[in-house]
Amino acid sequence: MILQALHTTTYSYSEPVSLCHTEVRLRPRTDSGQRLLEHRLVVEPEPSSITAHSDFFGNDVSTLTIGEPHTTLRITATSLIENNGADTIHPALTPPWEQIRDAVREYRTGAAFAAFQFTFDSPRIPLTKAFADYAFPSFTTNRPILQCATELCQRIFTDFKYDSKATTVTTSVEQVLRTRLGVCQDFAHVMIACMRALGLPARYVSGYLRTGENGTGATASHAWVAIYCPGFDWLDLDPTNNVMPSTDHITLGWGRDYSDVPPVKGVALGGGDQTVEVEVHVVPKDYAAC
């Protein structure tokens, strides 16, 4: 399936901004399930400089500087992605969760060593007993990891309520666990905290959800979780919608938590009060390579 993703972020300021520096992570990754065909980034006003690099996790980052005074900043990314989705995996075929916990602690393979970094605290995800207590009912002795994780995903989907007004980007994951309210970013953080509290690697995935597929979180940037499973690499789970992402999900990037992969972040000199509007549309698209 070919999908077109259109992502527009608009900053409006009450006073002119004289200078701003912004990082953009809006270029979808190419991996085993998806392939980037085209990508275009348009910034208004036009930046005085744009540089590109890959961050620690291999995500593409564009860094731009705007020295022209402005009261509106609009960043529009258009991408075409060939998305073949993930292979179907029977949960019973995956290893017991304790085996994975022990394997990453020993990190005898390169993959296990790379996964080990996703077992620790991160800026938005402290590891506390409360998350282990919430996770434990799903992680019984010698149970296959994917059975455990899909049950945990389903429990978060059932126990937590999507409420876009209940949290902000600074709301702690501990508060989300207490109130059971939040958005996709919050539910991903909760599930990651639960996995890591048991010593299991889990990473935060930033991306999009196909528009009009009755999925929660399809009108803005989306977020979900990937768990490490030897023999199957990383497996994605979306606790906001209780699904394993496939052809309706597009991966932008991944990291330890949201702080590693915000789609757009920056600093501005001046500006006064600001408002931010984000629009995302992901639709099927006919494509013929030139």
The pLDDT tens digits along the chain (290 residues) read 899 999 999 999 999 999 999 999 999 999 878 999 999 999 999 999 999 999 999 999 999 999 999 999 999 999 999 998 877 889 999 999 999 999 999 988 899 999 999 999 999 999 999 999 999 999 999 999 999 999 999 999 999 999 999 998 889 999 999 999 999 999 999 999 999 999 999 999 999 999 876 566 566 789 999 999 998 999 999 999 999 998 999 999 999 999 999 999 999 999 999 999 999 999 998 765 53
Give the per-residue pLDDT at 290: 39
**What is the radius of gyration, based on Cα positions, of the chain?**
19
Rounded Cα distance between 7 and 27, Å, is 10
Give the per-residue pLDDT at 107: 85
DSSP 47: P
Dihedral angle computed from the Cα positions of residues 196, 200, 206 and 210, in that order, rounded to the nearest 10 degrees: -120
Give the per-residue pLDDT at 152: 98
Q: Which of 151, 4, 146, 37 is nearest to 87 (CA)?
A: 146
Give the per-residue pLDDT at 211: 85
Q: Rounded to 5 degrees, what are φ and ψ at 289?
A: -65, 140
Residue carrying structure tokens 């992969």: 261
Domains and CATH numbers, the chain: 2-84+262-284 (2.60.40.2250), 91-260 (3.10.620.30)
Kindly write down the DSSP assignment for every residue of 166-230, as one continuous string.
T--TT--HHHHHHH-EE-HHHHHHHHHHHHHHTT--EEEEEEEE-TTSS-TTTTS-EEEEEEEET
The answer to whether residues 238 and 162 touch, using CB atoms and an 8 Å cutoff, is: no
Q: Rounded to 5 degrees, what are φ and ψ at 80?
A: -110, 130
